[in-house]
Amino acid sequence: MAWHTALGSDLNEVWQKLLKGESGCKPVSSPFPLRNMRAGTIDFFSLDQQHRTRQHDLACTTIERVLEHAQLESESSAIRYILGTSYGSHLDEPVDSLHTWAVEVGESLRTYHKPLSLTTACSSASDSILVGASLIESGESEICVCGGADIVTISKRLAHSALNTMSPTYLRAFDESHDGMLLGEGAGFLVLESQVSAERRNATIYGYLLGAGASNDASGMTSPDPSGESIQLAIKRAFQDSETSIEELAIINAHGSGTPVNDAVEQACFHLLFGEQSELPLVFATKGGFGHSLGATGALEAITVLLALNEKQIPPIFGLENPMHNFTLPLPINKPSSFTGSVGASLTLGFGGFNTCLLFQGKT
């Protein structure tokens, strides 16, 4: 696993910052007025670069680090690359195809296979993991590098400012005073491989992907179906894809974007799913720390689920002081929360109605 986030790039250092409740969102200059000047940018990569170059460098550097972490060579014929992004640099520096950035990453890394790419808005990186699992399960591949990269650009900041999805204050997921999201950027990649491949390589195993499920609201370009039923379907499909019962779920890394609409639809979904259960999973969210990194968010949040499962604690939700009325699942406020159990879910919701749920188990 490897990432670059607004809180840093070392896995453990970033995790410790999340446990302390820190945020990487800070004032970032803009040539235009915005609802909020804060964003979760990465200092490691210069904001003066062309957007296209910045995303390319961010993706390549993170993939190189994940390959080093997994003791793999980029040119190996055994590896397939599945890269996700939302618009990447496209809104500010358009090119012919949203696939171009993935091709260029593959050329720089001299990959044996040309990368696959996908764009399902904020579910892109989660869906790249889902696709990687399908390739491995079908026997098409033994090893997949899955994840996503996305960057903050002025067009995205202007768009979310105009949509009023940008908070004028701070990103406070599931708080009564939540008023929107703040943009972030980042890259996260995980090496997904068959058990046979991992054992043959004597690879260090950080966890297991138990199942994956997806759905689409078909409700609107930017607003989800308020009933929560479509999100519930993605979660149920993930459990159907696994050999795990929903009662075993210990933690959920929710989408937690801090917008009243998205927080409310997740609340509705959780009530539908867990309303009758006596043992309820803990819910946490990390976008207050990272900013909303759009097409990369699913990979960053998958990594945090695995870290949480192995540490047996979840970080507090940044800015959460007064939980939403009738939010029935437990939330970590001001300090980390410990838990028992070994199964966790990562849930992402994307513009266009894309919902993806990934189920993980910690290392055993």
How far from 322 is each of 173, 175, 292, CA to CA, in Å?
A: 10, 5, 21
Task: Determine which one of 25, 255, 269, 357 is catalytic.
Answer: 255
How many Å apart are CA 323 and CA 301, to the nearest integer? 21
Q: Which of 122, 146, 269, 357 is catalytic?
A: 122
Q: Annotated catalytic, 255?
A: yes
Catalytic annotation, pick one of 51, 146, 292, 357: 292
Q: Which stretches of 287-333 are assigned E, i.e. beta strand?
A: 313-314
Beta-carbon count within 10 A of 30 CB: 14
Distance CA 340, CA 319 (A): 25
Neighbours of 118 (CB within 10 A): 20
Instruction: Please indicate whether residue 292 is annotated as part of the active site.
Output: yes
- Residue spans of alpha helices (H) in 120-203: 124-137, 154-163, 195-201
Give pairs for 15-20: CB < 8 Å, separation 24+: 15/304, 15/307, 15/311, 15/315, 17/289, 18/286, 18/289, 18/304, 18/315, 19/313, 19/315, 19/316, 19/336
Q: Tokens in use for 161?
A: 């400012």
- Could you list the active site residues? 122, 255, 292
